[in-house]
Amino acid sequence: MSKEETTLTPKLIKKLWLAFIILVLLMGASYIFITGYFANKYSQETTQRINADIAEHVIAEKFKDASPFLEDGSVNKPLFGDLMHDMMAVNQSIEVYLLGKTGEILYSVVLDPEDRDAAKSVALAPIESFIKNNGKNYILGDDPRNPREQKIFSAAQYNVDGHEGYIYIILAGKKFQEVSNNLLGQYFAKLGIGATVLTMLFSAIIGLLAIWFLTKNLRLITQTVRKFHDGDLNARIVNPENSDIAIFAKSFNDMADSIVGNMDKMQSVDLLRRELVANVSHDLRTPLAILKGYVETLQMKRDSLSETEKQEYLQITHDNVDKLSNLINQLFEYSKLEAEQVVPVKEPFSITELSHDLIAKFKVIAERKQITLQLDNPQENCLVFADVSLVERALQNLIENAIKYTEPNGKVTLSLHKKGKNVEIDITDTGTGIPVKEQPFIFDRYKQVDKSTKKQGYGLGLAIVKKIMDLHDTTITVLSKPREGSSFIFNLPAYQV
């Protein structure tokens, strides 16, 4: 067995494993990402909800005693600065901004006046939406210190001494961000390691089981194929329809059946051929030996033999030459049929007419033996669809046999009957009949196994008839009783006009 074949299963398992590990890693990464995203959102939403009215509180508490604006309209920075410092000392994560009416930043202690990147104003839309919903919805607003980022915030509107604007408080300010990032990093590290280790562990167990179950049928099939390959021709996949790869399992079983079937067929054809050669050579040898004997006698005793004896010996030689040539012809015909070189050319023809011709042809031989040869039902014209010359050959062999095995004063009848879509052809004689135990073998004389029942010297007449029947997809039956006679019956498809 090649290396390719033996490593088939491990290769497949490796691929399955790789796919599985990639899947586990992808699942782990998505799990961590999703958890992180929602954990962060959850924490921000909670913080925003808790601190929603902090800006409102600033206005209510701080702006009632002192205005954040000076008389000249500028921001009262000392007052507002103190206020912001107080608040941010208590809650370091927040950053307070005083906004004007259009969202422009009027003042904040956290903003460095030198910082060019810092925003000069923030978008009003999120602030208005926040105020409208009383801070009940999770909403993000601009972060003035990082203009590209969006942060949770609290906001409230003020109207003091003719000045309108907003108190805008970033709830997750720089400080919050630092702490949060730090914690989140640690949290992710722990979660990542924990989740990955656990998922890998469970996945490994489930994966192993899954791969084991998935490849169970495949392993079974591979084992069976290997067994078959190693010579166990009976190896088949049990219950192929229950296999996960039923089509594969069934195909293997079918393939194995047809291989074994073909092998049996080839073996039996081979056996038949060997028996045929052995028997035929025996059959050829007998007449040849007789011929040789008589020819030698004629040569040696040419002068001492009487004229009658010479004639008799010559007749014997003639008969044996006939026998030999018959046998050789039959053998040639049979081997052509056996090798499937004969392709029947089917056409409609009148079997009645053919029968009339054959009866006329054999009439002389029959009369010489004082045998009545007749056609039953000669009026009705029966048409069949078959190969005319092959059918003629089969009928000839059957009539020849019938005359040969019938005693003088006997009768040979050929009858034709329409039976449904077929025409039944029957050759009946009143001859010697065939012993019951020989009947199963008469069509394949040379295939006979039991040598004790086998007579030598037979021709191939019925074996040829049987091959012709096979070519017409029909069968021939024999009904025979010793000393009473025999009937050979077969059907051919009738030709419907």
Q: Residue 347 corresponds to which amino acid?
A: E
Q: How many whole angstroms separate alpha carbon 108 and alpha carbon 75? A: 10
**Least gap, CB of 330 to ligand ADP (angstroms):** 8
Sign of CA dihedral 363, 367, 368, 369: positive
At closest approach, how far in Å is the CB of 414 from ligand ADP?
A: 12
Residue whose CB is less far from ligand ADP, 343 or 449: 449
- Taking alpha carbons only, the member of 375, 381, 380 closest to residue 358 is 375
Closest CA to 396 of 431, 429, 355, 428: 355
User: Could you give the angle at which helices 216-229 and 8-50 cross, rounded to 10 degrees?
Assistant: 170
Among 167, 207, 431, 448, binds ligand ADP (CB under 6 A): 431
Contact assessment for residue 388 and residue 354, using Cβ atoms and an 8 Å cutoff: yes
Q: Provide the minimum distance between the beta carbon of 432 and ligand ADP in the complex, in angstroms, as a whole number.
A: 5
Contact at 8 Å (CB) between 88 and 96? Answer: yes
User: Does 240 contact ligand ADP by CB under 6 A?
Assistant: no
Report CA-CA distances (Å) from 181 to 10, 172, 175: 46, 11, 10
> Applying CB under 6 A, which of residues 142, 283, 426, 429 lies at the interface with ligand ADP?
429
Query: In 8-40, which positions are buried (b, 16+ CB within 10 angstroms) versus exposed (e)?
Result: eeeeebeeeeeebeeebeeebeeebeeeeeeee
Please give the distance of CA 193 from its chain centroid, rounded to a whole number: 44
Q: Which of residues 28 and 433 has its CB atom nearest to ligand ADP in the complex?
A: 433
281 Cβ neighbours under 8 A, 6+ residues apart: none
Tell whether residue 280 is a contact of ligand ADP (CB under 6 A): no
Q: Which of residues 476-495 bind ligand ADP (CB under 6 A)?
A: 486
Q: How far is the CB of 404 from ligand ADP (least distance, A)?
A: 6
Q: Which of residues 344-403 bind ligand ADP (CB under 6 A)?
A: 397, 401-402
Q: Confirm if 424 and 416 have CB atoms less than 8 A apart.
A: yes
User: What is d(CA 106, CA 49) in angstroms, rounded to the nearest whole number?
Assistant: 26
8 Å CB contact between 154 and 139: no
Nearer to ligand ADP, 77 or 454 (CB): 454
Least Å distance between CB 235 and ligand ADP?
41
**From the CB of 257, what's the least distance to ligand ADP, in Å?**
34
Residues between 50 and 69 with contacts to ligand ADP, criterion CB under 6 A: none
Range 27-34, long-range pairs (CB < 8 A, 24+ positions): 27/199, 28/192, 28/195, 28/196, 28/199, 28/200, 31/195, 31/199, 32/188, 32/191, 32/192, 32/195
Is beta strand 163-170 parallel, antiparallel or unpaired with respect to 95-99? Answer: antiparallel
Q: Compare residues 87 and 402 and give the one whose CB is closer to ligand ADP.
A: 402
Under the binding rule (CB under 6 A), the answer on residue 95 touching ligand ADP is no
Number of residues counted as binding ligand ADP (CB under 6 A): 18
Judged by DSSP in three states, 221 sits in helix
Residue 445 found at the interface with ligand ADP (CB under 6 A): yes
Nearer to ligand ADP, 139 or 442 (CB): 442
Q: Smallest gap, in angstroms, from Cβ of residue 395 to ligand ADP?
A: 13
Residue 461 makes contact with ligand ADP by CB under 6 A: yes
Tell me: does residue 430 bind ligand ADP (CB under 6 A): no
Smallest distance from ligand ADP to CB 247, Å: 47
Q: Which residue's CB is nearer to ligand ADP, number 69 or number 443?
A: 443
Give min distance, CB of 262 to ligand ADP, in A. 28
> 161 — phi, psi (to 5°)?
45, 45
C-beta of 129 vs 456, nearer to ligand ADP: 456
Strands annotated E in 331-475 = 347-350, 372-376, 383-386, 411-419, 422-429
The answer to whether residue 434 forms part of the interface with ligand ADP (CB under 6 A) is yes
Phi and psi at residue 90, to the nearest 5°: -75, -45
Does 405 help bind ligand ADP (rule: CB under 6 A)? Answer: yes
Whole-number minimum distance, CB 266 to ligand ADP, in Å?
25
Quick one: which of 432, 444, 470, 489 contacts ligand ADP (CB under 6 A)?
A: 432
- Residue closer to ligand ADP, measured from CB, 20 or 458: 458
**Residue 415 to residues 280, 374, 467, 483: CA-CA distances in angstroms?**
33, 9, 22, 21
Contact segment (CB under 6 A) with ligand ADP among 73-81, 368-376, 387-395, 454-462 equals 454-462
Among 20, 187, 313, 458, binds ligand ADP (CB under 6 A): 458
Q: Which stretch binds ligand ADP (CB under 6 A): 2-10, 106-114, 131-139, 425-433?
A: 425-433
Residues that bind ligand ADP (CB under 6 A): 397, 401-402, 405, 429, 431-434, 442, 445, 458-463, 486
